Amino acid sequence: MLLAACGGQVERPRPVGNRPVPVRKPVAATPITPLPAAPIAPGTATAVGAGVVAGPPVYTLPIDDDAAARALLAFQASCPSLMRRPDVSGLTRGEDWAPACSAAKSVRAGEARAFFAEYFETAQIGDGKAFATGYYEPEIRGARERRRGYEVPVYARPNDLIEVDLGQFNDTLKGKKIRGRVDGRNFIPYDDRTAIETGTLAGRATVLAWAADPVDLFFLQVQGSGRLRLPDGSILRIGYDNQNGRDYTGIGALMKKRGLLAPGQSSMQGLSQWLHDHPEQGRDIMRENKSYVFFRELSGPPLGALGIVVTGGVSAAADPHFVPLGAPVLLSMDRTDASRLWIAQDTGGAIKGANRIDTFWGAGPDAEAIAGGMAARGTAFLLLPTGTIQRLTGARRFGERPDGNASPQF
């Protein structure tokens, strides 16, 4: 997923794949003010722990009819997972989603917004203060065989990488995994980025392809999937197939803290430009992000964490400890493009905590321009099946009178 970026204009767009990267400024918007709530305590592990505040009725929220229709299709695709997967956020049970999922199958054209209003209620998690970045499906130059100008390996999952589900050993560790390898009789951390880039995976991992540029491959790893444009013009699609288990470090924040970036340069495009302009220093900075992503060849569009095709402008990544994967999320942000109804169908190494959302924009120059500069702040409302909040807190819906009718203000 995309590392933290700052919205705004890119000063010196760098040509990528022999085409210019578009430059655009976001259109500002005024987000909905969050409801009064206590700040989220450091170390809070789940949505329930962060606190659940009943939000405004869905029908009062600024949901566009077209956006609702697109979100409905993504929600329908997510329903099997919503009803089957354990919800580690503590908010819902599989059966909670059954009425909405059943009704979603027969929603008629033009009634998507009414569907969400009828079957869902809104919840603010903690203080509701949201931060949204963006990601997309990048295209970089690559080749299936190593050749001059294509010398950066794109690795498949190593044969000695082991992923351990800690929840199988202790119920308090459900949802937590670690990755590493066996060394003799010990289980040790897996090789970090520096070790891998200096050749330690020789004989331990298949090379799927060879990239032309190490910086471009780094950002494709951050995105999690992408396309390789081969020398003959054909496309090889690759997708996430695991990670080395090392912590993700966002180099954008690191470079900004060190004063390396000029004003307006902290978008993805700006970071990429700097790294290309300072190759040796840039290599060392990239290696401070010890996380390393492995890929597999894809035969179709990119899939999210649910194993479902992600949709540009509709799918988003979230922390499953705070958002049930497959659930709708309404973002009201300080820029118009991010302010819409999203469906949480993905996760990301840098997407952690409450109200932290990574919006997916698809592929192509427009997607790259939006995702690369996305850094929106505002308010998030999670859409949950009607009755969930009362079950969790015993509270009535926001704006509801004791007789069950909505207050006039809504």
Q: Mapped to the 3 state alphabet, what secondary structure does 12-49 carry?
A: CCCCECCECCCCCCCCECCCCCCCCCCCCCCCCCCHHH
Query: Which pLDDT band, with edges at 50, 70 and 90, does 249 fall under?
Result: very high
Sign of the torsion formed by the C-alpha atoms of 196, 201, 206 and 212 = positive
More confidently predicted of 329 and 300: 329
Among 23-32, 76-85, 144-153, which is the least confidently predicted range? 23-32
Q: What is the CA radius of gyration of the chain?
A: 22
CA dist 157 and 319 (Å) reads: 23
**Amino acid letter for position 159:** N
Q: What average pLDDT does the segment 195-203 reach?
A: 96
pLDDT in tens, 167-189: 889 888 877 889 999 999 999 99
Beta-carbon-side half-sphere exposure of residue 337 (alpha carbons within 13 Å):
23
For residue range 108-167, list pLDDT tens digits in order: 999 999 999 999 999 999 999 999 999 988 899 999 999 999 999 999 999 999 999 988
Residues 6 or more apart in contact with residue 296 via CB below 8 angstroms:
156, 157, 208, 238, 239, 240, 241
What's the average model confidence in pLDDT over 237-260? 92
Please give the full DSSP string across 288-301, using - where no structure is assigned: TS---EEEEEESSS
Q: What region does 17 belong to: left with phi over 0, alpha with psi -120 to 50, or beta?
A: left
Which pLDDT value is given to residue 214?
97
Cα–chain center distance at 315? 9
Nearest Cα neighbor of 373 from 135, 139, 137, 140 is: 135
pLDDT of residue 167: 86
**Cα(354)–Cα(379) distance, rounded to whole angstroms?**
11
Q: What's the CA gap between 319 and 106, in Å, rounded?
A: 30
Q: How many residues does the chain have?
A: 410
Q: What is the DSSP letter of 187?
A: E
pTM of the complete model: 0.75
Residue 199 gets the label, from left (phi > 0), alpha (psi -120 to 50) or beta, of left
User: Which helix (H) or strand (E) segment is 199 a member of?
Assistant: none
Q: Indicate if the pLDDT at residue 2 is higher than 80.
A: no
Average pLDDT (337-364) is: 93
CB of 219 within 8 A of CB of 211?
Answer: no
